[in-house]
Structures are given as structure tokens and as C-alpha cells.
Structure 1
Amino acid sequence: MSEKTVAAGRSWHLPVAVIMICGSLIVALSFGVRSAFGLFMVPISGELGWGREIFALSIALQNLLWGLGQPFAGALADRFGSMKVLIAGGLLYSAGVLLMSVSTSPSLFHLSTGLLVGFGLSGTGFSIVLAAVGKVVAPEKRSWALGIVTAAGSFGQFAMVPLGQAFLSAYGWQTTVLILGVTSLAMLPLALAFKGVGQGGAAGPANSQSLGQALREASRHKGFLLLTAGFFVCGFHVAFIAAHLPSFVIDRGLDPQIGAWALGLVGLFNVIGSYTAGVLGGKYTKKYLLSYLYVARSAVIVLFISFPMTATTVLLFAAAMGLLWLSTVPLTSGIVAQVFGPKYMSMLTGIVFFSHQIGSFLGVWGGGYLYDTTGSYDIVWYCSIALGIFAGIVHWPIDERPVVRAEPAKA
């Protein structure tokens, strides 16, 4: 893995291991910083006199715009290379977080936290980095490598959320957000490691397919449509819990530190879960693993809301959910690469991820709206259970076999 990978007759500028390390650090920062946003719902809403729906709408817009921009960012990365997209995304992301620290009106908060960070995530999130790594890693190692990078994002959550809570307690929300914004600027130099990666060609057999042909092929593939529907559920689950669990814990009379440590614990155990999913995805059928993961999420939520809430039950829930948190990502990305090949992996993964972000939008905004309307999160928890069962069902019939394309006619 330390040797330079050759793809499409061209050497990558850096060893694969270095690319994986830099990619892991980028997703650790982009995912870790935004994972801390849930800590700010109560202090920001309270200080500025907002209901929770305003904050939740900004995070929901962020998730939706992240998903909306993802296919376009993926197409640009497939065409012009990952480095340029990562740098552009990093600039938007950092600008959004820095502006968030001085956003004291709903419109400015929607612009910074919603629009800028959302589109910034399109260029720095899992889809771009995982696709880039998937293009430089040998096919037999791809699932493992995707698990490694996904686990790194989880470690970012584990590191950033408790640290964010410590800064929040010490300095207040504005200074804490400013610190997070400055920290996110580190993504820019890390993006330089991706020079040449993803641009014009990919590891694996030659593929003369055009972008339009790739889109038509995927849109007619039943498995791609089912995968897209299932990933909606993942977005609903993780976005709702990440944004609302700290507030849910406070509502039940527990210390705010418990909510912060719960999100951190989700990140820690997701390191284990994501890596394990990547390893298992290289040995077993990915669609079945996804079905089991989603049904297991529903079971964990049922147990969580069925018992009296204590610090212990919250942390146990966080640990269990952490094992299942982003374990879906390397398996879902792996199916896309396995079925359609790596050439347009950034764009196709981005389309699947857009569905994830529609689910995220509904999970975050719906949680805020229903809380302000009913004074409870109960309906959202019940929806989460039903959706997990739905996802377990729709992944089962996916056909994971690589598509067979007609050979181009020779002159």
C-alpha cells in the first residue's frame, strides 16, 4: 500500500497511504465540526429568543443543500480532480462556520449555518473523499479502505463534540464557534494531497462510458433505486439524533455534559463500527449487512425509549447506536463502486447521498417542528423505528453484481 498506485497509465503524486491519511483528516474535521452543532441549539435559541425550529431549520437546510450540491460536486471531482473540489468546499465550509459565530438573526444564521456550510460539506464530505480513495485503492482493498476513512470521520466526532462542550462551558457559544471555524481551515492544506486524484480515469478496467450514459444506467438499475431509498433512512436517523439528542437529554433533567459525551461516544464507537463494516463488506454480502444494520437501529431505539432515562441508559444508547452510526457508509459506497465501477463513483455516490440528506432535512427540521408543536420528540422516535424496518426490507433484494456493458464496436 505504500507504493504509488498507477491508474489509467498515470502515477498518482503521493502514495496511497498518504492520500488515505489526508482524506481521513479532512472528513474528521468536516464531520467532527458539524457534529458539534447540536450542542448549540439550546444556548443559541435561548440567548436569541428563538424557538428550536429556527435553529433546526438552519441545520436542516444545511443537510439538504449538502445533499443537493453533492452530485454536482461529485461530477466536478470526476471531471477536474478531487483537490479543486476539496479546496473550494473547504473555503465555503470555513467561511460558513466563521460567519455563524456572528449570526444573530435568523436570516444570517440560515445563510451561514445552512447555505455556506451545507454547500461546503458537498465538497469536503464523505462522498468526495471516499470516491477519491476508492479510485486509488485496489478493488480487493476498497471496502477496507472506505471503512478506514469513514471511521476517521467518526473519530472527528468523538474528538470535537466533548471539546466543543468544554469550550462552550468556558467561553460561550460565539467564541466556541469561532474556534471551530478557524480549526476547519486545516482542511485546505490537506486537500493538496489529492492533486491529480480522480481526474480523468480511475483504477480498474478501461471504461469509455459517458456521464450521461452512467446516469441513465443507474436510473434504470433497480438496486441503485433501492439503495437510494434506503440511504434516506440513514440520513433521517443520524441527523435527528445528532441535532436533537443533547436537547432531549436536557429536557429529561440530565446534565448537558451527558448529551455532549453521548455524541462523543457515538463517534468513538462508530470508529469501531465503520471499520468493522468495511472489513465485513469485503467478506460478506453488503446488502444483507445493511439490512441487519438498519433493523438493529430500530431495535436499539425501541429499547432506549422503553426504559427510564438515566445517564447510564443515554451512554449505553450512544455506544450501541455508534456501532451502527456510519457503518452504512462504506457498505453503501462499496455497492455503488462494485456495481457501476469507480469512474463515476463520486457523482453516483453523490446522488445516493442526496437522498440521505433529504432524510437528514426531515429528521432535523421535523424534530424541531414537532417539538415546538407537541412539546415532545415521541413521534419522531416512532418514525425512526418504522423507517429502520423499512430500510431493512428494501436493501434485501438489491442485485450487487457488476453491470455488464456491451463492448464498444471496433473501427
Structure 2
Amino acid sequence: MKNPSVWAVVIAAAVAASMAMGIRQTFGLFLLPLGTETGISVVTLGLAVALHNLTWGIVQPVTGMLGDRYGAGRVAAVGGLLYAAGLGLVAVHPSAVTAFVGIGLMTGLGVGCAGTGSVIAAVGRAAPPERRGSLLGIAAAGGSVGQALLVPYAQVGMGWFGAVATLGAMAIAALFIVPAARVMEWSPRNPLAPRRSLSELPGLARSALQERDFALLTLGFFACGFQLAFLTTHLPAHLALCGMPPWLGATSLMLVGLFNIPGSWLCGKLGGVIRPEVALGAVYLVRSLAIALFATLPVTEWGTLLFAAVLGSIWLGSVPLTAAAIARRFGVADLGALYGVCFFSHQIGGFLGAGAAAVLVQTTGSYAAFWPVMVLVGLGAVAANWATRGPIRAAAAA
């Protein structure tokens, strides 16, 4: 399917993102049960997830550029196979080494190829400029559908069959990315458009980062990764340490996914009405205030569910807004590569958020000292995005 319809691209991108993003959102549920079954320590699994985030960030500019040149669908299909192989490796032979190789490296490569950062470039190229924001939001919401479905699936599976068997089932689920990728964008949508080679990526990144406002946008995305990686990886464990029942962690992550389905679409729509960087600052402000309240007030079941609902409404809203901001400044021909450059900062934040928290809880037995850091980092992102100026170039050039 050389040039599928816009809605076919959006739906296929949403399915691929649903599997790629939904599976990784379950990693926090495995943190304690997988350790109990296999003897792998919590800090080892936490650092493996941190490495997953860092690997994802490192490869995202490369996979984005490969998708721009050869078609995002081809790259996503490779990602689905890598994802399944990485999860299957840990399921077949669980150990500290396979956790780092399978979860840390292979699934990091897989989500870099098939996650939201890669597939939204295909949507951005397929969508007309006047509808780009809302369609990017719909594609980003696909990741939340996966989270809403796969989190309870993983929780029930661990209860019935154990963590190792459930990880194997997740590997099978990752294979659904491959047929979706075939529909999404198997070849470049405009084969006559100039396509950059990988050797041009460093120059493209330097040129973009020399622009003050792109650098500020990239800096703000660091905070997004820092906050979300910590919450995805450690919120269930934090609730368990607070004496909350096991179902609460899974239900919270499921609610995040459910509320982000309309939330991502609304954020994408908002990016077409006001400047995306202004909307991004508001997203980071609401998220930081919610985190501050959750950390300050006593932990209760209803308070946690409300916190998850608020977070969910803006969880992946930063993705379509960031993509829209880049498209307004640079056009869509290099959207995958430039989003990848910006996303590398996001995943450095994710690596630090997941990894530092794993070391902290192993050392102190508590996450208490980490919550104020989460708030301060988020407020820094608010300042960075609100300090940007409107794009000088024509909107959605190229």
C-alpha cells in the first residue's frame, strides 16, 4: 500500500503506538513480582528500565531519519520484531544479564523504531496542515489505548500465570506492530522529496539546536521524560511501600491510559488554536501541581485514582504539541529526525528519572526525597516553553 488514505495511516499508526507504548507502560507492574519469581533485584530491573529509556532516546533521531528516508512503516516493523525478541529473551531465560539486554537494549531499540516518536512522522506527512494537530493527537492517543488494555491484561496475567509467563505474552502482543506498520507508510509518501542520509544527522541536529527556541523546546522535553519515566516505573512500587493494595497500581496506570485517550486528542487540537509551546507550558504546570499535591497529601485509594485521572488527561499530550511545534518551525520533511533530536533530551530525563529513583529506593527504602525534585524539574519545563517565541518561518512549510 504505497499511499494509503490519511485515516488508514492514522489508525495504523495508533495501533503500532498502542502496542509499543502500552507494553512499556506495564514495566512498573513487573518490578516487584518479577524480582520475587526470578531473584532479580528491584534496582537491577529499575536500571534495566532506565537503560531502556536511554537506548530509546539515543536511537530515536536515527530511526526517525530512517523513517523519513525509507518509510516509517519499514522501521516500525523492524521495531516490532526487536520488541518481541527482547521480551521473549527475558521470559525464556530471566536473569540480570538478559534484563539489561532484553529490556534495556532490545525493547529500547524496538520502541525507538515503533513508538509514538516514529509513527507520528508518518501521520504528520499524511495529514493536511489545517488538520495536522488533531490527527497527531489521535495517533498519540493510540499509545494510551494500549496502556488502558495491556495494564489490566498484565495484572490479571501475573495473578493467574506469573510474571515470567505474562512477559512472554507481552512478547507475542508486540508482533501486532508488524502488520500495522505495513499499512502505515511502507514507502516515503512523496518519493520526489529530498531525503537526508544518516551522515547528515549531526549537522541537522546542530543546525536545529542553534535556534534558541528549538533548544528551549528540547530542554523542556527533558522534564517530560524525567517525570513520566519515574511515574511509569515506580508508582506501583511507591503505592506498595505506602501499604496500598496491589490492584491500585495497575488501576492507576489503566486510568492514566483511559483519560489520555481524549486528553491527547484535545492537546493536539489545542496546538492548532494557540502556539504549541504555550500549551506545552500549561501541560507541564498542571502535571507539576498534581505531583506536588499527591506528594504532600496522605496517600489514599481515591486520592491516587484522582491523581491518575488528572495525569492521564495530559499524559501524552506533550507528544502532538511538540511535533506540531517542530512542524511549524521546520516543516514536515525532516519531522521524524528533528522530533528524534528533541526526544533524545526526553529520554535522558527518562533515564535519570527511572534510574535515580531505583537507586534511591534501594538505598533508603522510600521515594520521599524524589517528589520535590519532580516538581522542580517540571517547573523548569514551564519556564523553558513559555520563554520561546513564535516561529519565523511559514507555518508547516514543505
The TM-score by the shorter chain falls in which range?
Answer: over 0.9
CA distance in 2, matches of 1:387, 1:342: 30
How many angstroms does 1:216 deviate by?
4.1
CA contact (8 A) 1:211 1:344 kept: no
CA contact (8 A) 1:338 1:402 kept: no
Aligned with 1:107 (options 72, 97, 113): 97
Aligned length: 392
1:139 matched residue in structure 2: 129
Q: Gapped runs of 5+ residues in structure 1?
A: 1-10, 405-411
CA distance in 2, matches of 1:96, 1:386: 34
How many angstroms does 1:75 deviate by?
1.2
2:24 matched residue in structure 1: 34
Aligned with 1:22 (options 8, 12, 19): 12
CA distance in 1, matches of 2:196, 2:293: 50
CA contact (8 A) 1:265 1:315 kept: yes
CA distance in 1, matches of 2:285, 2:234: 21
CA distance in 2, matches of 1:368, 1:114: 14
Q: Gapped runs of 5+ residues in structure 2?
A: none
Aligned with 1:401 (options 380, 391, 398): 391
CA distance in 2, matches of 1:63, 1:199: 32
1:195 matched residue in structure 2: 186
How many angstroms does 1:185 deviate by?
0.5
CA distance in 2, matches of 1:290, 1:100: 37
1:6 matched residue in structure 2: none
CA distance in 2, matches of 1:239, 1:55: 13
2:318 matched residue in structure 1: 328
Tell whether 2:376 aligns with 1:386.
yes
Root-mean-square deviation (CA, aligned residues, Å) is 2.0
CA distance in 1, matches of 2:23, 2:149: 9
Which residue identity is paired with 2:224? C
1:155 matched residue in structure 2: 145
Tell whether 2:110 aligns with 1:130.
no
Which residue identity is paired with 2:3? H
CA contact (8 A) 1:81 1:197 kept: yes
CA contact (8 A) 2:69 2:196 kept: no
Secondary structure, aligned partner of 1:101: helix
Provide TM-score, normalisation by structure 1: 0.91
CA distance in 1, matches of 2:327, 2:253: 30
CA contact (8 A) 1:236 1:361 kept: yes
Matches for 1:4-403 after TM superposition, within 5 Å:
12-193=2-183, 194-198=185-189, 200=191, 214-403=204-393
Secondary structure, aligned partner of 2:25: helix
CA contact (8 A) 2:86 2:107 kept: yes
CA distance in 2, matches of 1:94, 1:208: 29
How many angstroms does 1:388 deviate by?
0.9
CA contact (8 A) 1:83 1:197 kept: no
CA contact (8 A) 1:80 1:200 kept: no
Pair 248,213 (structure 1): closer, same or farther in 2 beyond 3 Å: closer
CA contact (8 A) 1:82 1:198 kept: no
CA distance in 1, matches of 2:18, 2:130: 25
Which residue identity is paired with 1:397? A
How many angstroms does 1:299 deviate by?
0.7
How many angstroms does 1:264 deviate by?
0.4
373-382 or 350-359, which moves further after superposition?
A: 373-382
Provide TM-score, normalisation by structure 2: 0.94
Which residue identity is paired with 1:142? R
CA contact (8 A) 1:92 1:117 kept: yes
CA distance in 1, matches of 2:189, 2:96: 38
Which residue identity is paired with 2:345? S
CA distance in 2, matches of 1:402, 1:12: 34
How many angstroms does 1:215 deviate by?
3.4
CA contact (8 A) 2:2 2:189 kept: no
CA distance in 1, matches of 2:189, 2:84: 24
CA contact (8 A) 1:131 1:345 kept: yes
Secondary structure, aligned partner of 2:36: helix
Which residue identity is paired with 1:345? L
CA contact (8 A) 2:141 2:261 kept: yes
How many angstroms does 1:49 deviate by?
3.0
Larger radius of gyration: 1
